[in-house]
Structure 1
């Protein structure tokens, strides 16, 4: 093969490679813009907080969001699901609050923080997966400054939230140990994708309860800026 042919093939490869990079960048930009717009459009816009009710919290670690609820309130008791013996250290089962989050199995288990994020894990999850988990932390009641945002729900609102979370957990779920001594993962229902992320699930749960939140909340910020 002549040098001219080699140069031509290299130039064609670079040109197509550049187009692919530009195309992927454009898709990511469109996704980001769409997510921010979807997160800014409210559902339950006319909702007014009750004077009294059940205090829950929404939290974020910058990557995943979760909903913190009391173990027992308004006729809802989570102790049959999240049991002390599921924890690496059952003593944490004495805490009175639970944090629930949902996500794709590999993405959840391999990306506890931003430092753990790998492109292959993100792409695999974004392409779609029915292998999902519910993450449950046993916690004390959040204090001011913990980063969790309070939401006061009426009893009926809270029961709707609890029903949504319960429906996400698989029947007779398998239990997997969590990141530390105080948390565990449970097999879940639902398909994870770029359209329905862990943060989308949080927004859907709050919307189902009747809370004012964004219509589509794929990013942590699109959940947290409402509270």
Structure 2
């Protein structure tokens, strides 16, 4: 019994150390900028928004801007209530399939769900919500891109989508789409957001595993 207790204590200590190193690395690397000299255009830009709910971030974009039309990618017929298709914006996030489908609310999160996602999964989804014009707030930050930057952002988000069946969302205004990429503790929903912004040329941290890692830049 004593030996079992010692093993358990060492295991808990190792897990605590691993969590501390992960938190420290995520906090530190998120402050080192990619595209250090990036600045938003003074005129003629496209405004997008970065949103977060305290845990997860997403990118909100106008359905029609700079020659881009998202309505063909995410049509109203994919929604449980097609009336939401009249909204002018789409909010897009990426994540692990079972985490998305198994947690319609934060009350539904289970330690096993978190552990499975952290270990890694090749089954990922894009979560797309049809929303009204965003209102800037602590959790919704505007970012202005040049048309070229916006085109690059659109291209990489479209490249994140995989073929497959559209799945129902949590409510009438959203849906899930099969996605590309492996989710794990190093490649989280928030690092996906940061990487897509970096692909567009926006100033963002080198590694953004937490929602705060992303939002601190805007």
Q: TM-score, normalised by structure 2?
A: 0.96
Write out per-residue CA displacement over residues 18-69 of structure 1, whole angstroms, 9 at most, x where no aligned residue.
0000001110110011111111111011011101210000000112100000
Aligned mates of 1:178, 1:104 — CA distance in 2: 14
Find the aligned partners of 1:117 and 1:220 in 2 and give their Cα distance: 17
Superposed counterparts of 1:39-118, under 5 Å: 39-52=30-43, 53-118=45-110
Q: Which residue of 1 aligns with 2:7?
A: 16
Q: How does 1:1-227 map to 2 (within 5 A)?
A: 10-52=1-43, 53-145=45-137, 147-171=139-163, 173-227=164-218
Cα offset for 1:81? Answer: 1.2
Alignment check: 8 A CA contact 1:63 1:114 kept = no
Larger Rg: 1
TM-superposed CA distance for 1:146, in Å, is 7.3
Taking a change above 3 Å as real, the CA distance of residues 187 and 80 of structure 1, as seen in their structure-2 partners, is same
Moved more, 113-122 or 20-29: 113-122
Unaligned runs of 5+ in 2: none
Displacement of 1:219 after TM fit? 0.5
Matched residues in 2 for 1:114 and 1:28: separation?
21
The CA distance in 1 between the partners of 2:146 and 2:64, in whole Å, is 15
Hey, what's the Cα distance between the residues in 1 that align with 2:83 and 2:39? 38
- Is 1:57–1:69's contact at 8 Å kept on the other side of the alignment? yes
**Contact 2:121/2:182 (<8 A) preserved:** yes
Cα distance in structure 1, aligned partners of 2:203 and 2:4: 50
The farther-off stretch of 139-148 and 75-84 is 139-148
Count the aligned residue pairs. 217
Using the TM superposition, name which of 142-151 and 192-201 deviates more: 142-151
| Cα-Cα RMSD | 1.1
> Deviation of residue 147 (structure 1)?
2.9
Distance, in Å, in 2 between the alignment partners of 1:179 and 1:42 is: 35
